[in-house]
């Protein structure tokens, strides 16, 4: 008998990759104000975002597999720029655009989608594409 399993309802973590963990830690911790949870020198730095985690890994380190054999996480990694979108209200997006500009971080795109939701796009020091967008981009009733 096949049991029906509900579809996942939330993300717990998302990962991006960066070669310079110090620059990533400074950017995500200082510019974006995220709370750092842990750091393993040369391997990763993890940040809390509300009820989820943003994991920044060095791809060359994670492709080797777990550094702690009691935690058998399979090897993983990516090359090239990743993408993460942070949810924000319209006033928060404007405040973020102002803060990023004040920090010398270029806004690559600032526009309204056909449904009226606003997004701004910018890059972290590793070149990952980051976005702030109104949740109504995907959820019109939000």
- Domain membership of residue 68 (yes or no) is no
Q: Residue 58 CB: number of other CB atoms within 10 A? A: 21
Percent of the chain with pLDDT over 70: 94
Of 10, 34, 63, the one marking the end of a domain is 63
Which pLDDT score, from 0 to 100, does residue 142 have? 75
**Are both 58 and 85 inside the same structural domain?**
no
Which pLDDT score, from 0 to 100, does residue 79 have? 83
Residue-wise pLDDT tens digits, 34-68:
999 999 999 999 999 999 999 999 988 877 766 66
Alpha-carbon Rg for the chain, nearest whole angstrom, is: 17
Please say whether the beta carbons of 57 and 45 come within 8 A: no
Q: Starting at the edge strand that comes first in sequence, how are the strands of the sheet with 44-49 ordered?
A: 13-17, 52-57, 44-49, 35-40
What is the model's pTM? Answer: 0.90
Indicate the number of domains in the chain. Answer: 2
Which pLDDT score, from 0 to 100, does residue 51 have? 94
| SS3 readout for 7-32 | CCCCCCEEEEECCCHHHHHHHHHHHC
């Amino acid at each position: 008998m096949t049991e029906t399993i509900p579809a996942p309802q939330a993300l717990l973590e998302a990962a991006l990759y960066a070669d310079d963990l110090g620059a990533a830690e400074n950017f995500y911790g200082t510019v974006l104000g995220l709370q750092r949870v842990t750091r393993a020198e040369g391997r990763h730095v993890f940040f809390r975002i509300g009820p989820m985690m943003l994991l920044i890994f060095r791809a060359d380190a994670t492709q080797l597999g777990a550094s702690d054999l009691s935690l058998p996480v399979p090897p993983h990694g990516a090359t090239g720029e990743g993408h993460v979108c942070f949810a924000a209200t319209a006033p928060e997006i404007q405040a973020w655009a102002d803060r990023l500009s004040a920090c010398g971080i270029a806004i690559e795109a600032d526009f309204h989608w056909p449904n009226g939701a606003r997004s701004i796009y910018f890059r972290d020091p590793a070149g990952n594409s980051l976005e702030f967008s109104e949740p109504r981009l995907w959820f019109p009733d939000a």
